[in-house]
Structure 1
């Protein structure tokens, strides 16, 4: 399979691993004093564990799992608002499947559907548009969720709805952006980060320059990476080589997919439809300035927050995590999933306590699926 098998070649992987080991030795990293590399994207976290890269790389490398799963960083208050919308009798609520089982304070969308709410899983906001066309007497709400990867498709759908004058279609906008939480992590005095493996899909939309501040202001390297084993290994090697050489640059390992300046059509659609929110709450990170997007006033007719009087403008309040849930600590790299006392016990994929065990990109789901479900005592 072109562009897949080439990046899963075990002989080539061994050669890269040998180079990684050499550079780790040159840096002087050890198990007691490792290099801390954060993979921002949840898809990278799953790839690392799926292919056993955490076990193949030397002990001198410590992978820190970042907040790169949009379902996982969604605060419970926003899930509650989704349920509130879905339970309105006039509403057909549409959503991507991985948001269905994320718990709110009362119930998840899956539970609300079981209780009779008209909730439908879709593969694209265009599916939601078609549902709105076929049900002119119902209000169809699409749960707009995700980083810059999914933001353009929602924006293009809103533009299409505007062209058609589709009055019964709205978006509950929860789109967020990657650079601001990276800055928040770098500003955290408790975080120890030496470099980053940057998100491939997000960068496909925005390019590589939005990360320039990481190198210029914080002196940390970032390498945008693909999702195959050799992509990730080469990206780790590139980060390590920068650290060894005393460099801090933004490099693009995933150049076969990621253009330097991103996708101009997608960027134009985002700028047309959205504007920055002054702040947005992230699960585990709290309020982060200019990290969320909201629908511009020109498209207010398609904004579920404006139409139904919910969200930040309606005085939404933060909701505390369930007792014993350590999702926030895991997403900020303070602990590993297996150090959560609920991991594999009170929190499993079948009965999740937190979002990290639910999402297909969640770190806890990755540990549970690929790393075993044995919990360990929390670190001192």
Structure 2
């Protein structure tokens, strides 16, 4: 039996979905790489907009984190995948951090949490205001016993006059950190407000400033997360890191080769695409643990077409595809997002995401995924 899927040309084509699931087996715990998945939040579609833009279904959201931990992945909480700054306000992010950290303690799961400056009600006027906002959020994360991820700040990008301002703010934060943190460089393709981060639009100059921050405080930096979608730049940066500082790839276009690495090193992972790919990611890294690089690539290489599709421009809307796949895979009961972001991608884009995911055996229940995709198509008036 086929399903009729719309495409970007305005036409449609028949697709024959899988009839059987694909088993993805991993030998846990994962050992050769540190692997985090940035995790999405599940909206509560039964709450009205008067209750705020971030109406979250807490039980379904936490259940998804348990799913990630069960596959051996760490959870990178309250990051951009969780719609931080795109529907999830700081009050809701703080509650998410508290609840997820409690769940991590109960489940024995690894967790790191995003720290930013999004509680600022108005644009920051000074570096001191930016630093204070960062410090408030870091205090919460550290009090919950989680690792801090210092996210790029829209407020800092707006108020900083040059590289020296980044050195001042990050230096202050790192000196105060209770344990080594992860520094997060999110490129403007993910958030246009972060253009010119580290004090320059010249990526070579920005990289130098970024590395100056790390070099000044190597004992306070566990690793750096690079989300620039530029594999060559990530490798070059990785080779310049001080001994013992990890490079967590955030490159959703080139992650297989970056994680596999080369004779001079490799990247660990902190990826939004590992939200839908958790079972496959675990199986792939488990192959690496056994020294089977070819097996690792056999599992992950076929997933790249799906990832590149989800993260195509405008890249910041990749969360819509991530949540679609979570619904199709049975991790939540609806395709609704906080702030109504389910409308950010077109129906042909969503249809292609379904087809690419089904082709690689992503869905644990292909029949359920097909039935839900047909339901979505019918909402759009498509007879599938």
Q: What's the TM-score, normalizing by structure 2?
A: 0.29
The structure carrying a bigger strand percent of its residues is 1
